[in-house]
């Protein structure tokens, strides 16, 4: 059947959003987060911000734009959280975890044979499925009491997703793609049986922190592997270029950078060589 429904015009909405309002929101989002909000995102931004206007009992977008003009206002953080897109899943783009297990970890085991220390960063970790998938791969390779010092730093701009990741509690449907043996070994049911909690042995490998990738980074030590998947897709080329060069600085020589399926370093940096599908190594 033909869908005859007409899109609702912006001016007929509950809270009209003017071009000026949309430009203001896009400009603040871009300056603070690097996230580009092109015209095609207008409907999505409308519904996410209208929800905030309702929650705050405001009258219109003008009032909302005035609030977020002040980055110290308590709403600013809510605004940032509401513009991020957090789609993720356990073992998303599974070939990365297969490559981690089959090639990267055996190589790093040799490189770090003396200090027995491996450091991974999940940058733009969303609700935690990515760092937990990394942790489960490390545990599979090394076991739970190997004597190796294994740590994953998991960071995201959105404070809500960082809290979800830190809590490590997931609805059953989030685990549906996971091997049942892994679920049995590393997850337990919550007291009311409605959800699953990640085991402490897995959680203790990961440190969750809020971090805006555009800000200064507080980490003093370098990483062996950086996962930054499906994050730069929201950034423009100059922002991507700067970020990839900063990742090169933050990696050990020969360290690995893993990006998302629709992302590429092509024409952006010459600090890495491509060694697999969206997998790169920092040139020495
Ligand atoms: C689509 S999710 C990707 C999650 C995971 N890496 C994956 O591939 O499944 C993108 C994440 O990047 C985060 N993000 C966007 N801009 C960021 C920034 N400037 N600094 C840190 N994180 C950012 C968002 O909050 C969101 O959680």
Same domain, 35 and 139: no
Q: Are residues 120 and 152 in the same domain?
A: yes
Which atom of ligand 1 is closest in space to residue 235's alpha carbon?
16
Residue 106 and residue 71 in one domain: no
Write down which residue in 27, 50, 83 finishes a domain. Answer: 83
Confirm or reject: Cβ of 87 under 6 Å from ligand 1.
yes
Choosing from 55, 83, 111, the residue where a domain stops is: 83
Q: Specify the number of domains making up the chain.
A: 2
Domain end among 83, 106, 125? 83
Is residue 187 domain-resident?
Answer: yes
Clarify whether residues 57 and 125 are in a common domain: no
Atom of ligand 1 nearest to the CA of 122: 6
Q: Give the CATH number, domain containing residue 124.
A: 3.40.50.150
The predicted pLDDT at position 2 comes to 44
| Centroid of ligand 1 to alpha carbon of 3 (angstroms) | 34
| Whether residue 155 sits in one domain with residue 30 | no
Q: Does residue 182 have its Cβ closer than 6 Å to ligand 1?
A: no
pLDDT digits (tens, 9 = 90+) for 152-204: 999 999 999 999 999 999 999 999 889 999 999 999 999 999 999 999 999 99
Is pLDDT of 3 > 50?
no
Does residue 1 lie in a domain region?
no
Atom of ligand 1 nearest to the CA of 92: 9
182 Cα–ligand 1 center, Å: 25
CATH number at residue 75: 1.10.155.10
Could you report the per-residue pLDDT of 221-265, keeping only the tens digit for each? 999 999 999 999 999 999 999 999 999 999 999 999 999 999 999
The predicted structure's pLDDT at residue 9: 64
Quote the domain boundaries for residue 60: 10-83
Residues 54 and 178 in one domain: no
| 175 and 73 co-located in one domain | no
pLDDT surpasses 60 at 4:
no
pTM for the full predicted model: 0.95
Ligand 1 near 164 CB (within 6 A): no
CA distances 264 to 129, 181, 251, Å, are 22, 34, 18
* Shared-domain flag, residues 189 and 227: yes
């Amino acid at each position: 059947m033909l869908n005859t429904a007409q899109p609702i015009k912006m001016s007929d909405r509950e809270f009209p959003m003017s071009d000026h309002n949309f430009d203001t929101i896009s400009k603040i989002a871009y300056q603070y987060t690097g996230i580009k909000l092109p015209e095609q995102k207008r409907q999505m931004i409308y519904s996410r911000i209208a929800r905030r206007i309702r929650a705050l009992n405001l009258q219109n977008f003008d009032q909302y734009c005035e609030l977020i003009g002040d980055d110290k206002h308590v709403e600013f953080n809510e605004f940032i959280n509401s513009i991020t897109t957090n789609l993720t899943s356990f073992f998303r783009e599974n070939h990365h975890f297969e490559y981690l297990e089959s090639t990267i970890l055996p190589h790093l085991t040799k490189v770090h044979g003396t200090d027995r220390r491996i450091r991974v960063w999940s940058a733009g970790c969303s609700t935690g499925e990515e760092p937990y998938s990394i942790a489960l791969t490390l545990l599979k390779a090394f076991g739970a009491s190997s004597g190796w010092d294994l740590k994953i730093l998991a960071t995201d701009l959105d404070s809500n997703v960082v809290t979800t990741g830190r809590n490590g509690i997931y609805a059953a449907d989030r685990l549906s793609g996971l091997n049942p043996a892994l679920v049995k070994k590393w997850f337990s049911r919550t007291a009311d049986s409605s959800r699953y909690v990640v085991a402490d042995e897995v959680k203790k490998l990961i440190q969750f922190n809020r971090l805006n990738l555009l800000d200064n980074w507080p980490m003093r030590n370098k990483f062996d592997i950086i996962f930054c998947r499906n994050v730069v897709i929201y950034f423009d080329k100059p922002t991507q270029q700067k970020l990839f060069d900063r990742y090169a600085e933050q990696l050990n020589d020969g360290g690995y950078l893993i990006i998302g399926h629709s992302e590429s370093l092509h024409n952006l940096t010459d600090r890495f060589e491509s060694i697999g599908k969206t997998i790169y190594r920092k040139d020495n």
